[in-house]
Structure 1
Amino acid sequence: MNANNNIVIAIDGFSSCGKSTMAKELAKKLGYIYIDSGAMYRAVTLFCIQNGLVTNGVIDEDRLKDEMRNIKIEFRINSEGRPETYLNDKNVEQEIRSMQVSNLVSPVSAIGFVREAMTRLQQDMGRRKGIVMDGRDIGTTVFPNAELKIFVTASSDTRAKRRLEEMLRKGQTATYDEVLKNVEERDYIDQHRTVSPLRKADDAILLDNSHMTLEQQDQWLYNEYLKAVKK
């Protein structure tokens, strides 16, 4: 651990578990940098959609590989102190949360050269420590030596309801059945992909937040942070 006691906090888990919400709140409380790795894969997916790299749900991997050098992803802090995702200097925070992107992000994330590129970028972002990063393989692949690893889960029904509520709040249209199907399909793809499949790291702490309030899970996570910095 470095001199100023900053650590790397890796939060992995299934889609729509509230990982990002937890991670953002903890980062804000600690004065850490928050990095949404899922948003990075969503940005690549949005790039594919915008540039005609998807036909009938199939990604043109050869063209995407050639285009990877033209994909610039970064996070910028907004006026409320929250990070927002930028793709090639354009704010895409809302666009990447659409159902269209959600339906394609797992297949895009399963492409080896995409994961390699995003992993390198994430590792560069985290070299100075003092970060909270959430995703699918942060504690297993990106930061296997993170001082604190959390693995979050919840029932698919709970996650679908949470995701639908979030989408409706943002003015997006979807049905419960559509969202539940998307959640279950993403679970399967994330766990069965060849490169960096979703799994709990051996030293990660399991959190099932199916029946927890936001305040309860935030306090739980902060308590785990306090334990980690004392080690």
Structure 2
Amino acid sequence: MDNNKITIAIDGFSSTGKSTIAKQLANQLGYVYVDSGAMYRAVTLYAMQNNLIGDAYFKEETLIEQLPTIDISFAFNKTLGFAEVFLNGVNVEKDIRTLEVSGFVSQVAAVPEVRKQLVDQQRKIGENKGVVMDGRDIGTVVFPNADLKLFMTASAETRAERRYNELIERGDEVDYQAVLKNVQERDYMDSNRKDSPLIKAKDAIEIDNSNMTIDEQFKVISNLVTKAISNA
């Protein structure tokens, strides 16, 4: 294990730019980046593809039974500059980012068996440090001893606007109010689920980026990383 390498845990609400800052830090430091939320989205996509979840139903027990057959992996794409998500060997990076998947992911992520399987995978990835991972329970459950814990937040309206613009740029036809409703519903479900709810770790540093540019945010967090590495 390289003593100069640290573990960075980034938690927070949906659409707070966790993935953006995590990718930036991983690229700057030469660390492994893991988007834990993408793993939950991949399981959700699997459930949707296999008719295990819909607006009026969720075949939770069947999903649990099929968990051993769900293989989630990451493959670095040099052109994009980050790792894309593969579900059972198929690139699903774009498929997992839809508003439809966003509508079901909190339900799937609340299933204890799903969380246990993915948390086990996430811990294995971070065994040798030199990792930046973002999600909902990284600093509280996955890496409670992380060298640096950040908790990202911003107003629901700001986050909905960011998500809306992101989806529109991709070519998706979405309504802002629908996106805002999704953000608010996910906030409630993520914060109130029984297993590993979204809470700020006691030793996490809160970053409210409602009025920050990406560059301003990166500068603030880079300074925190530099201090954490020097103290490791």
Give, in whole Å, the separation in 2 of the partners of 1:54 and 1:152.
29
Residue aligning to 1:86: 86
1:46 and 2:68 are equivalent in the alignment: no
1:5 and 2:4 are equivalent in the alignment: yes
Residue aligning to 1:203: 203
* Contact 1:65–1:113 (Cα < 8 Å) also in 2: yes
Give, in whole Å, the separation in 1 of the partners of 2:211 and 2:136.
22
**Structure 1: segments with no counterpart, 5+ residues:** none
Give, in whole Å, the separation in 1 of the partners of 2:117 and 2:15.
24
How do 1:57-136 residues align onto structure 2 when only pairs under 5 Å count?
Answer: 57-80=56-79, 81-136=81-136
Deviations 1:162-218 (A, max 9, x none): 000111111111111000000000000000000000000000000000000000011
Give, in whole Å, the separation in 2 of the partners of 1:4 and 1:143.
17
Q: Which runs of 4+ in 1 moved over 2 A?
A: 55-58
Give, in whole Å, the separation in 2 of the partners of 1:51 and 1:29.
39
Three-state SS of the structure 1 residue aligned to 2:24 is helix
Greater shift after overlay, 54-63 or 203-212?
Answer: 54-63
Q: Which amino acid aligns with 2:84?
A: E
Three-state SS of the structure 2 residue aligned to 1:172 is coil
Structure 1 residues 57 and 41: alpha-carbon distance in aligned structure 2, compared to 1, 3 A threshold: farther
Q: Which amino acid aligns with 1:26?
A: L
Three-state SS of the structure 2 residue aligned to 1:129 is coil
Instruction: State TM-score, norm by structure 2.
Output: 0.97
Residue aligning to 2:18: 19
| Alignment RMSD | 0.9
Three-state SS of the structure 1 residue aligned to 2:173 is coil
Give, in whole Å, the separation in 1 of the partners of 2:54 and 2:215.
43
Give, in whole Å, the separation in 1 of the partners of 2:24 and 2:88.
27
Give, in whole Å, the separation in 1 of the partners of 2:215 and 2:186.
27
How do 1:162-177 residues align onto structure 2 when only pairs under 5 Å count?
Answer: 162-177=162-177
Three-state SS of the structure 2 residue aligned to 1:157 is helix
Give, in whole Å, the separation in 2 of the partners of 1:195 and 1:206.
22
Give, in whole Å, the separation in 1 of the partners of 2:222 and 2:196.
27
Give, in whole Å, the separation in 1 of the partners of 2:54 and 2:173.
23
Aligned residues: 230
Q: Percent identical across equivalent pairs? A: 52
Structure 1 residues 82 and 198: alpha-carbon distance in aligned structure 2, compared to 1, 3 A threshold: same
Give, in whole Å, the separation in 1 of the partners of 2:176 and 2:161.
7
Give, in whole Å, the separation in 2 of the partners of 1:39 and 1:199.
19
Three-state SS of the structure 2 residue aligned to 1:144 is coil
Q: Which amino acid aligns with 2:72?
A: I
* Contact 1:57–1:104 (Cα < 8 Å) also in 2: no
Greater shift after overlay, 76-85 or 133-142?
Answer: 76-85
* Contact 2:48–2:54 (Cα < 8 Å) also in 1: no
Q: Which amino acid aligns with 2:218?
A: D
Greater shift after overlay, 211-220 or 51-60?
Answer: 51-60
Q: 1:4, CA displacement in angstroms? A: 4.1
Residue aligning to 1:222: 222
Residue aligning to 2:145: 145
Q: 1:161, CA displacement in angstroms? A: 0.2
Give, in whole Å, the separation in 2 of the partners of 1:145 and 1:37.
17
